[in-house]
């Protein structure tokens, strides 16, 4: 018998740092109450703490970073804390996103008889940890078709529910104030790169900086590159940017670090280079996207290639080719050769993203999955 009681949900993450997973979870948390789901957060803290608090989400701090969980004593402490939260909050369902932190939440939930949903955000999760999650009884969600295929190869079935975007938060608006603050003259073209500056995404960022240098020295396009993000390779990117700026005798490349208001930076760009969630957020702002991700180069997210872009997850989980400085430079030059084409790409991409990746639609899909695991609610 279905009673239609509100679902008490515990979201568990490593931290509240700035990233695609955290931004997506925040969007869900904002949307869920209108659908009868009452979210609670447990995990580490971070700069997004205030944003989660403003969304009305109760926050329980539990140290779940991988380094903390190396010690058996910390593992026991974390599982005990999560168990207490689940009992005190009368949690119906637990939703996890990362490993190994999620494993301790899954074990605590299993012992209490609480269903667990595990969203897999990429093909980088170690197979042994995925098998542990499977053994713990998790129901798996894939954010893309390549991730679903990756799980299939591990013998794990999953539901595909893509990241959703909050179109009230990500929208077209003027960037004149930010342009002025960054001292970028009107009429000069801006490429925005948004990503964590780590792993292959940092390598792509370096290629972009070198490509911009070549374009600038050729005198073909008055160009600026703005890089939003941080990570363990941010220092190396900053050194490269400084070298290029000295060589070009101008502030060709600016690093602005992690930003809570990414909408401002997407709107600043004449072209956004990114992947995954960044691509979706930029399109929601009406911006043309050159998709390059952890896996490799996809290219422009243009009308004939929308389905293919989704199948590759914008180069993050699959790709057409390896990126290179030359390939990126050619694409940027091609993009700025036709302002009308760029504008059309941005407008059409915004309509496609709204039709296929609206956060409310994805939250409804998630609620359907939750409800299937809670037959008595």
pLDDT at position 329 is 98
Q: What is the pLDDT of residue 3?
A: 57
Per domain, the residue ranges of the chain are: 7-164+358-373, 176-356
pTM for the model? 0.95
pLDDT, position 210: 98
The single residue listed with the structure tokens 């989704």 is 310
- Look at phi and psi of residue 90 and say left if phi exceeds 0, alpha if psi is from -120 to 50, else beta: left
Count Cβ atoms below 10 Å from residue 245 Cβ, excluding itself. Answer: 17
Does residue 91 contact residue 374 with C-beta atoms inside 8 Å? no
pLDDT in tens, the chain (377 residues): 455 789 999 999 999 999 999 999 999 999 999 999 999 999 999 999 999 999 999 999 999 987 777 788 889 999 999 999 999 999 999 999 999 889 999 999 999 999 999 999 999 999 999 999 999 999 999 999 999 999 999 999 999 999 999 999 999 999 999 999 999 999 999 999 999 999 999 999 999 999 999 999 999 999 999 999 999 999 999 999 999 999 999 999 999 999 999 999 999 999 999 999 999 999 999 999 999 999 999 999 999 999 999 999 999 999 999 999 999 999 999 999 998 999 999 999 999 999 999 999 999 999 999 999 998 88
Say whether 176-356 and 7-164+358-373 share the same fold. yes
Model pLDDT for residues 292-313, shown as the tens digit of each residue: 999 999 999 999 999 999 999 9
What is the assigned CATH class of domain 176-356? alpha beta
Domain at 7-164+358-373, CATH class: alpha beta
179-230 pLDDT, tens per residue?
999 999 999 999 999 999 999 999 999 999 999 999 999 999 999 999 999 9
Beta-sheet strand order (sheet of 7-13)? 59-61, 37-43, 7-13, 93-96, 116-120, 139-142, 159-160
pLDDT of residue 100: 86
């Amino acid at each position: 018998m279905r009673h239609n009681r509100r679902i008490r949900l515990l979201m568990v993450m490593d931290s509240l740092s700035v990233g695609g997973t955290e931004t997506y979870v925040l969007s869900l948390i904002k949307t869920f109450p209108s659908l009868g789901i009452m979210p609670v957060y447990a995990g580490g803290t971070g700069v997004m703490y205030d944003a989660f608090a403003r969304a009305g989400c109760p926050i329980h701090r539990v140290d779940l970073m991988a380094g903390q969980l190396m010690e058996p004593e910390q593992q026991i402490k974390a599982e005990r804390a999560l168990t207490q939260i689940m009992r005190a909050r009368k949690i119906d369902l637990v939703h996890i996103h990362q490993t190994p932190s999620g494993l301790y939440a899954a074990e605590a939930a299993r012992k209490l008889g609480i269903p667990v949903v595990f969203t897999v955000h990429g093909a980088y999760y170690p197979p042994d940890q995925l098998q542990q999650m499977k053994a713990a009884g998790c129901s798996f969600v894939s954010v893309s078709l390549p991730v679903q295929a990756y799980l299939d190869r591990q013998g794990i079935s999953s539901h595909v529910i893509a990241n959703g975007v909050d179109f009230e938060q990500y929208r077209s608006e003027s960037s004149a104030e930010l342009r002025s603050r960054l001292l970028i003259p009107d009429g000069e073209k801006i490429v925005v790169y948004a990503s964590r500056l780590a792993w292959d995404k940092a390598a792509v960022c370096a290629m972009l900086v070198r490509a911009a240098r070549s374009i600038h020295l050729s005198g073909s396009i008055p160009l600026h590159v703005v890089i939003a993000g941080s990570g363990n390779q941010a220092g190396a990117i900053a050194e490269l940017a400084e070298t290029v700026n000295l060589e070009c005798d101008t502030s060709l490349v600016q690093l602005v670090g992690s930003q809570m208001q990414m909408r401002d930076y997407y709107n600043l760009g004449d072209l956004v280079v990114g992947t995954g969630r960044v691509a979706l957020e930029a399109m929601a702002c009406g911006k043309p996207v050159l998709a390059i991700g952890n896996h490799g180069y996809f290219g422009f997210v243009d009308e004939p290639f929308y389905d293919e872009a989704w199948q590759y997850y914008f180069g993050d989980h699959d790709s057409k080719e390896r990126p290179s400085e030359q390939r990126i430079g050619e694409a940027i030059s091609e993009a700025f050769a036709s302002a009308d084409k760029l504008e059309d790409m941005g407008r059409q991409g915004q309509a496609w993203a709204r039709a296929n990746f609206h956060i409310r639609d994805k939250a409804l899909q998630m609620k359907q999955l939750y409800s299937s695991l809670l037959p008595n609610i």
